Structure 1
């Protein structure tokens, strides 16, 4: 009889039940912060991802959102706040606004010196999501009231400091700050007064814009000090507060440098009073199932794309392009099809902008920019984007100047592109508002001062009244001042004296017309760079002298021609002699004795011709005519020869005057005469031929000068 032996049952393979595992791991917990082995967590995530509307998937995404927001808030500081903000907006702040409020309040309480940074972060979020900023402020006010009633000094100090900086950032109204100080000083104790003093130091610079309310608060501080009911240490703190006010809060600025990132008109101020009924919405801190989860996620994704620009659409377009290329390759080979929507150009600019904003330093930014694949001719777009990003800042950042300098010194291509950009921006500088104009000028001033680009770009600047506008003059002013600050006045002046640089700057320092020269001198003098105009001033002085000499030459030449014409018209008698004397005396009267230097450049044939006239007059005894022609010639050598020939001769002039030729020495030829009758020219006549210095010395010897009637 065979007995069947019982075989042991085969163990069945254990099946992974994700729902049961999820309930087991999260049962009895509020935050879901239990440890899960990595393998089990991955299996759970894979199972939950199959149905994104399931509670399990939403719970996992909630935990991920909580950890991500907490990590981002804990990493923020004054240096990387511009990079943190886009990361924070990438998270669903509408769903996780309770998590954000709780995380930032915990982080601020743990590190009070970083309170201005956290307040700036809340201010930036508040401009796009006012409900998030309002929730943070409501929770802070509620926590302050609760801690004040419980005499919890550390919490009260932390919350009041946070509220003070939110008032400085215009997230909270100034009335809230006044109510807090009044509450703290209503029944003064050592702790309440100490908190009030610290609060006033933080918010005092902002409240100083309201003189009436500010004076009332300090009167209350003064009354508390005079009452003397508080400790000596706290009294000393009040005295220090008055000194801080006297120093205009120089050590407690309203907004620290680097955190003024929100425009005043963009900020939304919440009017919350200290005694309002507040809803802190604690339920937002815990997970709740959302039946419309996918719809809400899609709405936030659209909001995020409006604020930051969604990169997913770009990747989707790339994926669709690749699919179309695989499925319909011949379409790409057609000629004549051009993309006029500039989609690629917009995407390129977006990549450049995000690269510049996310880099920690200029070296990292340049390294990433050089990795961007550019088509031929797109290099200028990168240069333009660097300048445009720099101009969008509130003030000039040296970060962008160093990027431009490094690019120019790395490759000749960027060198040429930035030079081209200089010309383009100078021609269109009138289109930019004043702040952007100043930043662009400082940017190119940095490139020129560091020799990143050639100074030949200054050829585009024509410093005259017709070719400049108010915008272009402001551009040149800021650029030159930036170069002067970077190089020093002496080095800048020496560089502009370099022959190569001077050739390129001839339009900026013009010497073609006195009007343009004076305009350039006045412009550079007005911007405290008058040292650059010394050569132009010297040129202008010499040019004026040269113009006067040219005018005298033309006038004297015309007078001599008139003398010849009169002599020819009246013959060679006494009447001709009288006309010659009158013309020459008039010429000397109108143009002065130094005309001789100008007339010495006359042609030799004219000189010989007039010598013949003199000889003809001398043979007939017309000594006044001889002297007149002598004076008309004003040739020192010729006049001396005539004087030696006729010295001491006395003749009767055409108006009954006695005329005598005298050699006064030092190249001076004088003709002295005195009238016998009552009519005529009268007095003594002295007509000189010689140097002006000699004439002056002769005058000191009491020889009277008479030049005309």
Structure 2
């Protein structure tokens, strides 16, 4: 049995036991060997921390950002403010972390623009889309637009129109999109995935309608779907034909006939569901109605001219590289050079200068301006008109990329026109207007604003009126009509003076069919814009009378009648009232006296060798009597009922 020690002895042993507590590693900052510093009093360190260099700060920020990107947070929330602050510290464009940040921003921007596009704002979205680096992000663009289209098939025409616009400037993007869609269709067809095949065929059909893809690919897909018909394959083929049928009928009639013959055989011979048979019958009815409810391209989405479109021809049998590596981030050692190249390409596409460039680039531009000033001494004169062609292209792209007249005028005012090239701006505005299918008031408002900004532009547009009127016979009717309505808008809005009409001489000798059509459309537009009463008052203005003498001539009654008949024939006889009154008050011309024979002979200086036919000749009279005697005797024999006196009257008297 053990005996417990008394409490006093236990306390004594505890007091006599030495303290052997080990120092805490957290507090021991100088290691276990420095015993002198272990006994130092606790408190604030006397040593001052060294300030970190910029490189060290960049390295710390990069490491922390890389950790946030690669860690599996498992639900850990990272405040956006902290993330933005961390990203703002990374400014080295050659670093992998900065490029990853730019890649993520590019992906979000492209995806956001594609998701919010619709019919009404597509013209606004496309310039913003070109503002992003679509060359670097073409894989992201194709993936986002395919995903958005598959989620909402009714929006396929809008996505196809957007892809068509991008394809005109960046054909490699349109080609990659088409390759991925064909590859998606082939995979879906092998896996019997109806949804994938339906979305891919619908998208390809509208790309064919926009002439991004050749119609041959649509024909190959249709023949593949109808080769071994099933309910699903025939349903997909019917949907594809409804979308692309009108385009096939226009571009290749033989392919359309072959496809509908195959549908007819399936309808009569194949064992398919009643629902699918009804779909084929409806398709034939749609074809009979000439696809009035399924047009190839809707008017509001017809945004690309045929000559500007680039068509890609890819077959189902071709080996296709979809370039999946473009979907993921890759470090680019020449990142800044590639970004600068796309910045120049974007300026060429949108017709903009360096307005949207960063502040860092502005310093580079200032240095570049100094270099240009130094190189002015070595300037070489270009004889190939390359500068003129580039100037016209910049003006054209600026006009085409503008949404409204105010924006267009603002951009055009920033275009630097070389000395002596100012007339190119009005000329390009008029040429762009003439190339439209129908007249657009957009161009008239641009011309009006420029003509009212400065007297220089007013004079240039007035000179353009005279130039285009003199050469109007070179233009076809549609372009002629647009030019006439453009100048009609400028004259009716008083942007240019009415005195420009002095170049018009309305008579039979100095007008052509083209110039008469031009005058007709011009005055009809003036009448529509101002109203006939105001137009009449304007034409009667005393200050304008000297300039309207060619339109309403008073110099020659023949020209006056021509002008009256012309304006009456075009339904504007009201403007001819003064000319009619003038014509009625003209004195009747006297009959001209016959010229004297002596004067004629003296004027001509030619001696008359033959007798005058008006002077009777006895010898010739006797010959006529002998020739006419038998004829007169026969006539007298055939008319026995006439008395002798009448017969005598019928015989001609021949002067002797």
User: Separation in 1 of the partners of 2:560 and 2:95?
Assistant: 80
1:211 pairs with one of 232, 242, 253 = 253
Counterpart mapping for 1:95-106 below 5 A: 95-106=136-147
CA-to-aligned-CA distance 1:258-311 (integer Å, 9 cap, x gap): 433434344332222224332222111001122333443344345445544562
Which ranges of structure 2 fall in alignment gaps of 5 or more residues?
1-35, 375-380, 597-644
1:446 pairs with one of 486, 489, 493 = 489
**1:286 aligned to 2:333?**
no
1:18 pairs with one of 45, 50, 61 = 61
Q: 1:355 to 1:136 in 2, by over 3 A?
A: closer
**1:550 aligned to 2:585?**
no
Which ranges of structure 1 fall in alignment gaps of 5 or more residues?
329-339, 559-677, 684-707
User: Separation in 1 of the partners of 2:394 and 2:495?
Assistant: 25
**1:188 aligned to 2:229?**
yes
What's the counterpart of residue 464 of structure 1?
A: 507
Counterpart mapping for 1:243-322 below 5 A: 243-309=285-351, 311-312=353-354, 319=366
1:108 pairs with one of 149, 157, 171 = 149
What's the counterpart of residue 617 of structure 2?
A: none
What's the counterpart of residue 103 of structure 2?
A: 62
**1:398 aligned to 2:434?**
no
In the TM superposition, what is the alpha-carbon distance from 1:213 to its structure 2 partner? 1.9
Larger RCO of the pair (alpha carbons < 8 Å, separation 6+): 2
- Alpha-carbon contact 1:168-1:255 (below 8 Å) kept: yes
- Alpha-carbon contact 1:464-1:516 (below 8 Å) kept: yes
User: Separation in 2 of the partners of 1:273 and 1:369?
Assistant: 43
**1:134 aligned to 2:181?**
no
Q: 1:511 to 1:235 in 2, by over 3 A?
A: farther
User: Separation in 2 of the partners of 1:184 and 1:99?
Assistant: 30
What's the counterpart of residue 42 of structure 2?
A: 7
SS of the aligned residue for 1:144 comes to helix
**TM-score calculated relative to the size of structure 2:** 0.67
Give the count of matched residue pairs. 550
- Alpha-carbon contact 1:108-1:114 (below 8 Å) kept: yes
SS of the aligned residue for 1:208 comes to helix
In the TM superposition, what is the alpha-carbon distance from 1:60 to its structure 2 partner? 1.8
CA-to-aligned-CA distance 1:418-473 (integer Å, 9 cap, x gap): 55654455456567777654422221223445666554432332123554466544
CA-to-aligned-CA distance 1:291-340 (integer Å, 9 cap, x gap): 33344334434544554456239967973599799x99xxxxxxxxxxx9
User: Separation in 1 of the partners of 2:253 and 2:424?
Assistant: 50
Q: 1:522 to 1:75 in 2, by over 3 A?
A: farther
- Which deviates further from its counterpart, 509-518 or 196-205? 509-518
What's the counterpart of residue 155 of structure 1?
A: 196
Q: 1:448 to 1:189 in 2, by over 3 A?
A: farther
User: Separation in 2 of the partners of 1:378 and 1:273?
Assistant: 48
What's the counterpart of residue 240 of structure 1?
A: 282
CA RMSD of aligned residues (A): 5.4
Q: 1:131 to 1:472 in 2, by over 3 A?
A: same
Q: 1:480 to 1:192 in 2, by over 3 A?
A: farther
- Alpha-carbon contact 2:61-2:89 (below 8 Å) kept: no
Q: 1:496 to 1:346 in 2, by over 3 A?
A: same
What's the counterpart of residue 699 of structure 1?
A: none
- Alpha-carbon contact 1:517-1:536 (below 8 Å) kept: no
In the TM superposition, what is the alpha-carbon distance from 1:57 to its structure 2 partner? 2.2
- Alpha-carbon contact 1:80-1:360 (below 8 Å) kept: no
User: Separation in 2 of the partners of 1:541 and 1:472?
Assistant: 25
Q: 1:126 to 1:498 in 2, by over 3 A?
A: same
Counterpart mapping for 1:554-565 below 5 A: 554=593
SS of the aligned residue for 2:590 comes to helix
**1:169 aligned to 2:216?**
no
- Alpha-carbon contact 1:514-1:540 (below 8 Å) kept: no
Q: 1:186 to 1:481 in 2, by over 3 A?
A: farther
User: Separation in 2 of the partners of 1:321 and 1:459?
Assistant: 49
In the TM superposition, what is the alpha-carbon distance from 1:530 to its structure 2 partner? 7.1
- Alpha-carbon contact 1:197-1:241 (below 8 Å) kept: yes
Q: 1:403 to 1:79 in 2, by over 3 A?
A: farther
CA-to-aligned-CA distance 1:512-544 (integer Å, 9 cap, x gap): 335544654676677x4474687699689869x
- Alpha-carbon contact 2:226-2:234 (below 8 Å) kept: yes
In the TM superposition, what is the alpha-carbon distance from 1:176 to its structure 2 partner? 0.9
In the TM superposition, what is the alpha-carbon distance from 1:234 to its structure 2 partner? 3.6
CA-to-aligned-CA distance 1:44-74 (integer Å, 9 cap, x gap): 4433x33x33222221222222223223333
- Which deviates further from its counterpart, 181-190 or 380-389? 380-389
1:512 pairs with one of 555, 568, 572 = 555
User: Separation in 2 of the partners of 1:502 and 1:235?
Assistant: 75
User: Separation in 1 of the partners of 2:535 and 2:134?
Assistant: 57
User: Separation in 1 of the partners of 2:364 and 2:502?
Assistant: 45
User: Separation in 1 of the partners of 2:263 and 2:389?
Assistant: 58
Q: 1:270 to 1:359 in 2, by over 3 A?
A: closer
2:262 pairs with one of 211, 220, 224 = 220
CA-to-aligned-CA distance 1:189-226 (integer Å, 9 cap, x gap): 44433332222122111111222221222222233333
Q: 1:225 to 1:318 in 2, by over 3 A?
A: same
- Alpha-carbon contact 1:202-1:254 (below 8 Å) kept: yes
